[in-house]
Amino acid sequence: MTVLLALAIGVLYAAGTYLLLRRSAVRVVFGLALLGHAANLLVFTAGRLVREGPPIVPPGALAPPTPSADPLPQALVLTAIVIGFGVQAFALVLLRRACQEAGTDDVDAMREERP
Amino acid sequence: MIAAVLSGFAVALLAPALAKRLGRGAGAVLALYPAALFFRFLSRVPAVVAGETPSASLPFVPELGISLSFRLDGLALLMALLVTGIGAIVLVYAGTYLEGHPRRGPLLGLLVAFLSAMAGLVLCDDLLALFAFWEATSILSYFLIGFEREEAEARAAALQALLVTGGGGLALLAGFVLLGQAGGTLEVSALAANAEALKAHPLYLPALLLVLAGAFTKSAQVPFHFWLPGAMAAPTPVSAYLHSATMVKAGVFLLARLHPALGGTREWVWVVTSVGAATMLTGALLSVGQRDLKRLLAFSTVSALGSLTMLVGVGTPAALGAAMVFLLAHALYKAALFLVAGILDHEAGTRDATRLGGLLPLLPATGVAAMAAAFSMAGLPPLLGFVSKELLYDAALRASPLPFVLVPVAVGSNMLLVAVALTVGFGPFTGPRGATSKLPHEAPVAMWAGPALLGFGSLAAGVFSGALSPFLSAAASSALGHPYGVRLELWHGFSLVLLKSLVTLVVGVALYRGRHRLRAFAERFAPLGALGPARLWRAGLAGLVSVAKGTAAFLSSGSLRQDVRVVVVAAVALLGPLLLSRGTFGAADALPSVRPIEAVLALLVVAGAVGAVVAGSRLSAVVGLGVTGYGIALLFLVFGAPDLSMTQFAVETLSVLLFVAVLRRLPRLRSRSAPRSRAVDAALAAAVGALMAGLVLAVHAGPLRSRLSGFFAESSLPLAKGRNVVNVILVDFRGLDTLGEITVLAVAALGVLSLVRLRLAAKGTAGAKEGGR
């Protein structure tokens, strides 16, 4: 399964990078979103895949049962998901605004529009 | 001793306020500080002459073993007395010279700070602390040379001086580090004690060359001499202080300081002596072609620094003795002559030597002081300059490498310098009155007192030179590394040396009488100056700037796609080979089995991403993104992360809503890139994908060792009273991070709001229509 996910992460990164290199600004924002997904899945996978269950302390115990999933990458990814959403929302509005001001969504043409 | 020297920086900070409050007398009041230091050092002379070396030490950077250790030996004492004594005189002078200048206070402050840095430099025993003071003098001199900041010429000269001496400073630092490696210590005294081993060390030669580069740039040796005449853009008191008496001597001082540790080898003798001799001759030759008093003095200073360097290079006891005497003699007369040049500029309105003459009746005090200094420079008995020139000739005659080259160089340069001395200090006061714009009158006493004191000093030191012998012997002994007695006397019988002095004087006076023809002759060669190292320097600088601009334009072009390509190529090129050569992809720690549901989810994620890439419409791309997002949420659920899953579901839903809300206002997707550029991008993207997939596999090659995860799992309930470990980490153990995250979201929300609400005025209107508002 790890190998399968590694390949999926590779595809996500490749797709994100490809979109980031497009001239259409909308695709650039899509690429940003895909790269966010890719990074989250990368950190999650690197923290090892475990089918046993979440790191929750059952009643009467002092620690989660072993084995259970590693809580640390989960905490990191959780933060990243939320931040990623913030970035996406901002990028989307910025994109809309930039297209309005520049009159085009061509990334290369926008560069000429620098004041 | 340390506190007394460092307190100068505090005094410097007070100077501007003090100057405002005190008005006219500010310079004199500030001069009390160096004067007090001067007498303090003077009181140590008997002890130092008796062979003691008072020292003090303060931890500076104890972690690196660097201490601020001061050591007052003969050489340090000589320099410290010059720095503080001439410093006091210059401050008094500058206070009056700059009267009415709006930034007189800051200038006085800079001078005091410079004085402290210079005193620290000459007293330091630790090389890294010495380097810190060295750099401080470079930086302060930048501000002092460029003091008239409205003038482009002054700014350019300041920058040039900073770049040349700063570049040399870098070489010096590297040299010091190598010396520390080779000698095992950064204390000069300890290095000198271990000199033989140091000279045999393989790092000796590189260290020596780097240190020499630093010393040569600071002391304006050929081929770095060009910055010094340019530095004459500084106000005259600054030139008198930095560019004659103190800062430019720092290089020579460093050579003398390190002579016991590094000197005496064949490399030292040949490199230092030949550079010094070349500088001596070049400076003298260039000086006779000048009209401006300050430039005349600047090139003669280059020549004097060359002869000092040459003497330290020769390195015999006689040579170092002569160097110390000349160091003192030169500081006395050259500072005086600079100050006189300032007075003439101030009172007569010109520094052009050809337009000044017959001023002695109008400026009697200044004139007498100037003549005393000029005669000392010309080497007329009974002034100190005469004594020092005798010693110089004697040392050159007995030098081990090529006396038949050094003697003609020394005699020839000195002949020219006699003419320069008389042109600067004698010519303006004698002969017919020149055509000056103002009617000159005597300068205020605060201005002529300094040159008078220095001129009188040149005379007294010459007449009573015998009394100076023990003091200068102590200085020479520190530079030699063993005790040596310099014999200073006005008369030591008829000898070859005396004959040379006489010939020098006679020819020099003849050259002075024919100075106008000499200058006209020298000016004919002026175009050759364009071929000099200054031109090479400017071309090199321009080249450096254009390379930097090219690099910046390539790495940060302003085009998003170009910049992303640079990052991607760099990442793949740097990480790829590393991963291939070091990484093991055995995936030993991986989860081998695949359940059907997991395979389906992974395929879903991939399919969504591919769909987003190939989509021709905005809506289908958003659908693809959504499929990927929800697929990942489900993967989280399968692998024991319900919290992640729930968050991802919520965020993904919000994202899709957001996209759909904005979608209609977004431009349609269009294919713009040429097929060729698409293929290149696809290849790059594939490389990134392969790199990241390989990274995941490489990470799984061995077991994961995380002590942190175990800590969180075990401490969650006992310490934070929470059962869901992920939540506890977020809100408790790493609560501050979460606060930061919330802040980021708030800032993003504000950004979104302002982008929606605010409109860029005027320019936006044309685009707004097309944007579909």
pLDDT digit string (tens) for B58-113? 887 787 777 888 999 999 999 999 999 999 999 999 999 988 888 889 999 999 99
Return phi, psi of residue B61, to 5°.
-125, 80
What would the two tokens of residue B584 be? Answer: 């093991």
Return phi, psi of residue A29, to 5°.
-65, -40
Place of tokens 């016991």: B260
Q: Do B564 and A18 touch (CB under 8 A)?
A: no
Nearest-CA distance from B544 to chain A in Å? Answer: 27
Of all residues in chain B, the one with the smallest CA distance to A51 is B639
CB atoms within 10 A of CB B617: 11
Nearest-CA distance from B578 to chain A in Å? Answer: 18
CB B127 within 8 A of CB B186: yes
Domain count, chain A: 1
Closest in A52, A93, A102 to B767, CB measured: A102
**Is the per-residue pLDDT at B771 higher than 90?**
no
Q: Do B745 and A86 touch (CB under 8 A)?
A: yes
Looking at residue B442, what is its pLDDT? 86
Looking at residue A53, what is its pLDDT? 83
Return phi, psi of residue B25, to 5°.
-85, 10
| Interaxial angle between packed helices B675-699 and A25-46, expressed in degrees from 0 to 180 and rounded to the nearest 10 | 10
CATH code for the domain of A18: 1.10.287
Closest in B612, B640, B659 to A54, CB measured: B640
Closest in A15, A81, A94 to B612, CB measured: A15
* A19 — pLDDT class (breaks 50, 70, 90): very high
Of all residues in chain A, the one with the smallest CA distance to B672 is A23
Place of tokens 């000198």: B192
Nearest residue to B326 (alpha-carbon basis) of B347, B297, B342, B305? B305
Nearest residue to B631 (alpha-carbon basis) of A56, A40, A23? A40
Nearest-CA distance from B543 to chain A in Å? Answer: 28
Tens of pLDDT, residue by residue over B662-695, are 877 788 888 778 888 899 999 999 999 999 999 9
Q: Do A101 and B763 touch (CB under 8 A)?
A: yes
Evaluate whether residue A18 is within a structural domain: yes
Q: How far apart are CA B167 and CA B707, in angstroms?
A: 48
Evaluate whether residue A61 is within a structural domain: no
Q: What residues in A contact B706, CB-CB < 8 Å?
A: 70, 72
**Which range among A8-22, B152-166, B511-525, B658-672 shows the weakest confidence by mean pLDDT?**
B658-672
Of all residues in chain A, the one with the smallest CA distance to B653 is A85
What would the two tokens of residue A62 be? Answer: 């002092």
Q: Do A40 and B632 touch (CB under 8 A)?
A: yes
User: Is B645 near chain A, with CB under 8 Å?
Assistant: no
Q: Where are the domains of chain B?
A: 271-513, 557-586+671-703, 592-666, 706-773
Instruction: Give the DSSP H/E element, type plus range, for residue B343.
Output: helix B317-348
Closest in B606, B618, B648 to A81, CB measured: B648
CB A9 within 8 A of CB A38: yes
Nearest residue to B82 (alpha-carbon basis) of B246, B228, B233, B214? B246
Bigger pLDDT: A17 vs B492: A17
Q: How far apart are CA B561 and CA B556, in angstroms?
A: 11
Q: What residues in B contact A52, CB-CB < 8 Å?
A: 640
Closest in A4, A8, A81 to B647, CB measured: A81
Q: How far apart are CA A20 and CA A28, in angstroms?
A: 4
Q: How far apart are CA B708 and CA B722, in angstroms?
A: 17
Q: How far apart are CA B418 and CA B304, in angstroms?
A: 12
Q: Do B641 and A41 touch (CB under 8 A)?
A: no
Q: What residues in B contact A112, CB-CB < 8 Å?
A: none
Q: Do B730 and A115 touch (CB under 8 A)?
A: no
Closest in A19, A21, A62 to B565, CB measured: A21
Q: How far apart are CA B258 and CA B209, in angstroms?
A: 13
* B770 — pLDDT class (breaks 50, 70, 90): very low
CA quadruple B149, B153, B157, B159: dihedral sign: positive
Nearest-CA distance from A76 to chain B in Å? Answer: 9
Tens of pLDDT, residue by residue over B353-405, are 888 888 898 999 999 999 999 999 999 988 999 999 999 988 887 876 677 88
Q: Do B708 and A3 touch (CB under 8 A)?
A: no
CB B595 within 8 A of CB A49: no
Helices and strands of chain B, counted as H and E runs = 33, 2
Q: What residues in A contact B751, CB-CB < 8 Å?
A: 90, 93-94
Place of tokens 């340019």: B230
* B548 — pLDDT class (breaks 50, 70, 90): very high
Nearest-CA distance from A113 to chain B in Å? Answer: 11
Nearest residue to B418 (alpha-carbon basis) of B428, B427, B408? B427
Q: What residues in A contact B659, CB-CB < 8 Å?
A: 92
Helices (H), B670-734: 675-699, 707-720, 725-728
CB B284 within 8 A of CB B419: no
Torsion of CA B96, B100, B106, B112, to 10 degrees: 0
Looking at residue B178, what is its pLDDT? 94
Evaluate whether residue A90 is within a structural domain: yes
Amino acid at B200: A
User: Is B579 near chain A, with CB under 8 Å?
Assistant: no
Q: How far apart are CA B719 and CA B547, in angstroms?
A: 58
Nearest residue to B159 (alpha-carbon basis) of B169, B145, B148, B171? B145
**Is the per-residue pLDDT at B159 higher than 50?**
yes
Q: What residues in A contact B632, CB-CB < 8 Å?
A: 37, 40-41
Q: Which residues have C-beta within 8 Å of that of residue A15, sequence separation ≥ 6?
A: A31, A34, B609, B610, B612, B613, B685, B689
| Interaxial angle between packed helices B127-145 and B249-262, expressed in degrees from 0 to 180 and rounded to the nearest 10 | 160
Cis peptide before B382 (omega within 30 of 0): yes
Looking at residue A81, what is its pLDDT? 93
Closest in A21, A45, A115 to B684, CB measured: A21
Burial zone of B576 (CB within 10 Å; 0-12 exposed, 13-18 middle, 19+ buried): middle
| Residues belonging to chain B | 773
Q: Do A30 and B621 touch (CB under 8 A)?
A: yes
CB B191 within 8 A of CB B261: yes
Q: Do B685 and A17 touch (CB under 8 A)?
A: yes
Q: Do B666 and A99 touch (CB under 8 A)?
A: yes
Domain of A27, in residue numbers: 2-55+68-112
B residues 700..719 contacting A (CB < 8 A): 700, 704, 706, 708-709, 712-714, 716-718
First to last CA, chain A: 51
Nearest-CA distance from B521 to chain A in Å? Answer: 57
CA B696 centroid distance within chain: 47
CB A115 within 8 A of CB B767: no
Nearest-CA distance from A67 to chain B in Å? Answer: 11
Return phi, psi of residue B144, to 5°.
-75, -40
CB B388 within 8 A of CB B472: no
SS3 string, B136-199, reads: HHHHHHHHHHCCCCCCHHHHHHHHHHHHHHHHHHHHHHHHHHHHHHHHCCCEHHHHHHCHHHHH
Mean pLDDT of B41-58: 91
Bigger pLDDT: B428 vs B590: B428
CB atoms within 10 A of CB B400: 11
